[in-house]
């Protein structure tokens, strides 16, 4: 049994993922600030920035693939409706 999501539901999920991503970035920035006192500032910055940007890249890539699949689904539905 599969569950079909409406366009509004998918967009709401993507919006929640985006907000979560922003929260992760804020947490990484906070952690980077905490570790700056223990390590050299440059080392902490590079370590924190790399981890944050890697998570952002991975999440955005996953969202892009979801969006491409969603657009393909919409295109198929529009083709079916117009035929």
Confidence band (pLDDT; 50, 70, 90) for 77?
A: low
Q: Is residue 31 part of a domain?
A: yes
**Is 66 within the bounds of a domain?**
yes
* CA–CA gap between residue 66 and residue 61 (Å, rounded): 9
Structural domain including 76 reads 7-82
pLDDT computed for residue 49 by the predictor: 75
Provide the number of structural domains found in the chain.
1
Judge residue 51's burial from the number of C-beta atoms within 10 Å of its C-beta, 0-12 exposed, 13-18 middle, 19 or more buried.
middle
Predicted model pTM: 0.42
The answer as to whether 46 is a domain residue is yes
Which pLDDT tens digit goes with each residue over 18-38?
777 777 777 777 776 665 556
Q: Do the domain assignments include residue 2?
A: no
Q: What is the pLDDT of residues 29-71, one digit of tens each?
A: 777 666 555 657 666 677 777 777 778 777 877 887 777 777 6
6 pLDDT above the threshold of 70: yes
């Amino acid at each position: 049994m599969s569950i079909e999501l409406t366009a509004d539901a998918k967009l709401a999920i993507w919006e929640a993922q985006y907000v979560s991503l922003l929260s992760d970035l804020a947490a990484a920035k906070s952690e980077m600030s905490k570790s700056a006192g223990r390590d050299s500032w440059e080392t902490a910055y590079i370590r924190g920035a790399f981890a944050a940007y890697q998570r952002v890249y991975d999440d955005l890539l996953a969202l892009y693939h979801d969006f491409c699949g969603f657009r393909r689904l919409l295109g198929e539905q529009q083709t079916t409706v117009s035929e």
